[in-house]
């Protein structure tokens, strides 16, 4: 197991400690969340009573395989906790997400939680957002015109492809990855991107995070908002 994988396991183990009987949880997407789901599945098999709202089809399928009971945002519009990974975390807990293409459902779920807990290895901690290409989910219609409008904001904007074909999200839309390299003002950029007609969501998760659990070698560093 790589050091990064070990850090994910440590952080996911710590995250499980926040889960209590009767809670309704947002279940994030990605390799870190896969570790978390495995551990959660073990706790459920041992008798823990929780329900989860998945943030992607992939997470939904894995949760079902593990016997984790699922529910919906319609039935539970306010979640107790949401757990999710991140692609970048800055010192103010601002995030970029969507490396796996699940940003829309992730944001919809994560924003509804009383507490949003980010689980990560230490490679995700950055001084400034932007080295990781910023994912933007867009409608298919006129996507190239949207891409040009994104480039006008000062980035190289690239349609995400898999095996030479456009990547399609769980919502049947495209992702455009925006290479800004450095994001000076995440709030302004979010507002500029969201004002482009045809943009569905942007992978800047701002002012949402309550707790960050970072796996660092054999320990986990806990960062809490306001502490």
Looking at 30, 52, 130, 186, which residue binds ligand R5P (CB under 6 A)? 30
C-alpha 89/C-alpha 74 separation (Å) is 29
Q: Which of 70, 64, 66 minimizes the C-alpha distance to 26?
A: 70
C-alpha 137/C-alpha 30 separation (Å) is 17
8 Å CB contact between 143 and 198: yes
Q: Provide the minimum distance between the beta carbon of 85 and ligand R5P in the complex, in angstroms, as a whole number.
A: 3
Q: Which two tokens stand for residue 89?
A: 């975390």
Pairing of strands 211-216, 113-121: parallel
In terms of CB distance, is 47 or 186 closer to ligand R5P?
186
- Catalytic annotation, pick one of 17, 20, 88, 106: 106
Residue 106 known to be catalytic? yes
Q: What is the DSSP letter of 133?
A: P
Diameter of the chain measured on Cα atoms: 53
Binding to ligand R5P, residues 75-104 (CB under 6 A): 84-87, 97-103
Binding to ligand R5P, residues 101-130 (CB under 6 A): 101-103, 106
Q: Does 26 bind ligand R5P (CB under 6 A)?
A: no
Q: Provide the minimum distance between the beta carbon of 213 and ligand R5P in the complex, in angstroms, as a whole number.
A: 12
Residues near ligand R5P (CB under 6 A), total: 17
8 Å CB contact between 53 and 27: yes
Looking at 28, 52, 186, 215, which residue binds ligand R5P (CB under 6 A)? 28
Annotated binding site for substrate: 29-32, 84-87, 97-100, 124
Q: Which residues are catalytic?
A: 106
Q: Which residues bind ligand R5P (CB under 6 A)?
A: 28-32, 84-87, 97-103, 106
């Amino acid at each position: 197991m790589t050091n990064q994988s070990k850090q994910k396991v440590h952080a996911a183990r710590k995250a499980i400690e926040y889960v209590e009987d009767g809670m309704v949880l947002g279940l994030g997407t990605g390799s870190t969340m896969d570790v978390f789901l495995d551990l959660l599945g073990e706790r459920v098999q041992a008798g823990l009573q929780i329900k989860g709202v998945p943030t992607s089809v992939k997470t939904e399928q894995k949760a079902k395989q593990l016997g984790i009971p699922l529910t919906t945002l319609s039935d539970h519009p306010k979640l107790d906790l949401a757990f999710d990974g991140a692609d970048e975390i800055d010192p103010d807990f601002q995030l970029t997400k969507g490396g796996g293409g699940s940003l829309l459902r992730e944001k919809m779920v994560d924003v509804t939680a009383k507490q949003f807990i980010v689980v990560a290895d230490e490679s995700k901690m950055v001084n400034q957002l932007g080295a990781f290409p910023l994912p933007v989910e867009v409608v298919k219609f006129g996507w190239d015109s949207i891409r040009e409008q994104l480039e006008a904001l000062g980035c190289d904007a690239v349609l995400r492809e898999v095996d030479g074909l456009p990547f399609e999200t769980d919502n049947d839309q495209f992702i455009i990855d925006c290479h800004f390299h450095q994001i000076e003002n995440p709030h302004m950029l979010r507002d500029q991107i969201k004002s482009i007609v045809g943009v569905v969501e942007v992978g800047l998760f701002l002012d949402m995070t309550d707790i960050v659990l970072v796996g660092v070698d054999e320990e986990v560093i806990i960062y809490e908002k306001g502490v």
